[in-house]
Structure 1
Amino acid sequence: MNRKFAGATLGVALLMGIAGSATVMADTDTTVRGQREGESTDGLDMQAARARMMTARGRHVAYTKKFDLSGLPDYAPKEKVHGTIRIWGSNYITDGFLGGYWEAAFKKYQPDARIDWHMNTTLSAVPSLALGVSDVGIGRKITFQEQELFERSTNHSPVEIDIATGSYDVPGWQPGYGVVVNKNNPLTRITMEQLDDIFGAERTGGWEGTSWRPNWARGPEKNIRTWGQLGLGGEWANKPINVYGLTLRYHQATEISDRVLKGSDKWNEHLTTYANYVSKSGKLERGMNEDLANDPYGIGIVAAPTTNLTGGASEPTQKILPVAWKDGGPYVPYTLDTLQNRTYPLYDQIFAYLDHEAGKPVNPGVVEFLRFVLSRQGQELVQKDGKYLPLTAEVAKAGLQKLDALEK
């Protein structure tokens, strides 16, 4: 069975919960990669492979550059913390050393504090808050369903604090997204609006959190479906743009929808999507990479793109396009520095969420711990762990201002 489902069959495949069917594709000489003997798409097999991979990556320092963090404030305790801070959420915090680093350093300032970690999955971060079993939820960006669950349980929104920037090239640790095309494609750059027009479709509006925005509607005249519409001439002018992505059940698709398509569920009608699989060697793999690498007219928005440019070949067959927020630029390349300083538009983030109702007292231990995380000392430990990227002074300051506002 193929791991992809696309075009007119996409909705049926999603409803059936399967990862294979016939598809409608543009006329290219691409051959879609099918599942091979010895490979598995079983969910528990993938979970076991994922756990092995995360254990190995968690011990690895992916970058050694030391960013200038002198603009971040030093941590100075405002209150003495006593008791336990319950933290639920992303396993990546404790798969690596970061959670342990934070706890040990925080206790030097707050020796009577105790951290109770429950870090199995980011899926538990917000629900644990809604159910009252955690004080802090840490994970990737809250989803529509998670925010709706929280709001219906508490009648207010969670407080969101940005605590680190996603990684450059470490899958799992919220890596940035690269726009990937064939290395022989003459296109040299792209804008966020063009990505919306390529990957999206006509829509009546979009979602911002749990709020519907009708002003984000757009018509079919905005659709970009050929390379000529992006300014390419000659043999490229009438060639179709073949769009690739991971299954819409995966969070990466949700994140791309939120970041690129203004929260719309209307995708390009010829989107070809893929599920992960476990190879014969027991490694977790992405079937999309090979097909995208072999398609001269393909384009994908790929997490940790620098790790996926060969598609199984000995040399890179793809390139990453610089991206601009709007026409006229600046067009920013995908680099360690542009992700850390957030000038590249498709960086990712890791957040802390907490439950606080306006007018009611805030848990002082939670505030102190997050103030430490946002401090120079806390962000130096992000850098020491070497996967997530440390915050800029501006982002840390915004988070501290949010925390200060909770205490008023």
Structure 2
Amino acid sequence: MKLKVMAAAVIGASFISMPVLADVDPDLPDYETVSGISGNMTSIGSDTLNNLMTLWAEEFAGYYPNVNIQIQGAGSGTAPTALTEGTAQFGPMSREMRTSEIQSFEERFGYPPTMVPVAIDALAVYVNQDNPIESLTIPQIDAIFSDTRRCGYDEDITRWGQLGLDGAWENRDFTLYSRNAVSGTYGFFAENALCGGDFKASINEQPGSASVVQGVSESVNGIGYSGIGYITSQVRAVPVARDEGEEAFTVDNENYPLARYLMVYVNKHPNEDLDPQQAEFLRMILSRQGQEVTNRDGYIPLPEAVASRVRGELGLD
């Protein structure tokens, strides 16, 4: 997947677009334990990353039994406040911080928060397993989910028949499932699948990614979106094309148009090292063992070319 270049101001170096590796990069370093790591830490932020952060915390506890990491995953919008107020050491997010969120942090600390890419996600468009739709374009997705149709489709799409389905499907309308506005997934989808437009009032906003998938699985007319890590056997991830006449790609293809970095923000003074507990947790995430956890949870591991640069920026090499 050719990923959008990340904002450079937060970390001090941009991340070049590159193909995604389907498996764990064998060049990632093994994690090696250090002495003296103990204590409590808290993570507050993304629902998309909630399960992955929990699995990383469990992996970390295997190395350091005296460390306890509490995980809260109400949505990416909760991470900036938690970091600014000092109630969390980690702020997982499925979108980049907004300018206003960075400014609030800077007003308190005098420097910006540090953004750490930790995994790659393919944001899937899910339909019920019995739905025969073969593919969708970004303009079609926009016309299904938004009133504004900024991606250029020429009509509102309200029935499956408008997408070429016939028979019993021709006059079926949509049951739309979406994350809620506090979610980074909501913002990413609005920006990249709705071309910055507005959602229809008829969407069913859900508090978590799993709820979106469950809703689609229980509704034959359902369609929704969430991270690929939440896929189940009751739904299908539809191949997506950038525009009409272009090839549609599945979520595991490097050209899939709805790929994104998942990230964890931390409070790191630009002239000081991270606390040892924070540093080791991030070092583990950016190791072979950490990215194997990423792979097992259904997300796409970071290539070593990216992980190495992140470790360098954090002073972890």
TM-score range, shorter chain: 0.5 to 0.7
Residue 352 of structure 1, aligned match among 261, 264, 272: 264
Alignment of 1:195-344 (within 5 A): 195-202=141-148, 218=150, 222-225=154-157, 232=164, 242=174, 244-246=176-178, 248-249=180-181, 251=183, 252-264=185-197, 266-268=198-200, 271-273=202-204, 288-289=215-216, 292-293=219-220, 295=221, 299-301=223-225, 304-309=230-235, 319-327=236-244, 329-334=246-251, 338=252, 344=256
Alignment of 1:30-179 (within 5 A): 67-75=23-31, 86-89=41-44, 92=51, 95-96=54-55, 98-105=56-63, 115-121=67-73, 125-138=79-92, 140-141=94-95, 144=98, 149-151=104-106, 153-154=108-109, 156-165=111-120, 176-179=123-126
Measure the CA separation in 1 of the matches of 2:73 and 2:169.
Answer: 45
Residue 389 of structure 1, aligned match among 291, 299, 306: 299
Shift of 1:244: 0.8
Matched position secondary structure for 1:378: helix
Shift of 1:147: 5.1
Shift of 1:84: 5.5
Measure the CA separation in 2 of the matches of 1:379 and 1:163.
Answer: 8
Measure the CA separation in 1 of the matches of 2:165 and 2:73.
Answer: 47
Contact 2:212 2:224 (C-alpha < 8 Å) held by counterparts: no
Matched position secondary structure for 1:104: helix
Matched position secondary structure for 1:126: helix
Letter in 1 for 2:305: K
Alignment TM-score, normalising by the size of structure 1: 0.52
Deviations 1:218-242 (A, max 9, x none): 3876554266996638789996863
Measure the CA separation in 2 of the matches of 1:375 and 1:125.
Answer: 24
Change (3 A) 1:256 1:307: farther
Letter in 2 for 1:100: E
Deviations 1:195-218 (A, max 9, x none): 224322338xxxxxxxxxxxxxx3
Letter in 1 for 2:297: K
Q: Does 1:362 align with 2:289?
A: no
Give unpaired runs (5+ residues) of structure 2.
1-21
Shift of 1:69: 3.4
Matched position secondary structure for 1:306: coil
Aligned to 1:194: 140
Measure the CA separation in 1 of the matches of 2:165 and 2:215.
Answer: 27
Shift of 1:292: 3.6
Q: Which has the larger radius of gyration?
A: 1
Measure the CA separation in 1 of the matches of 2:164 and 2:242.
Answer: 21
% same residue: 18
Shift of 1:72: 1.9
Contact 1:178 1:320 (C-alpha < 8 Å) held by counterparts: yes
Shift of 1:176: 4.8
Measure the CA separation in 2 of the matches of 1:372 and 1:130.
Answer: 24
Give unpaired runs (5+ residues) of structure 1.
1-65, 109-113, 167-174, 204-217, 278-283, 310-318
Matched position secondary structure for 2:312: helix
- What value does the CA root-mean-square deviation take over the aligned residues? 4.7
Deviations 1:92-131 (A, max 9, x none): 35755x31322433x59xxxxx645232335564333212
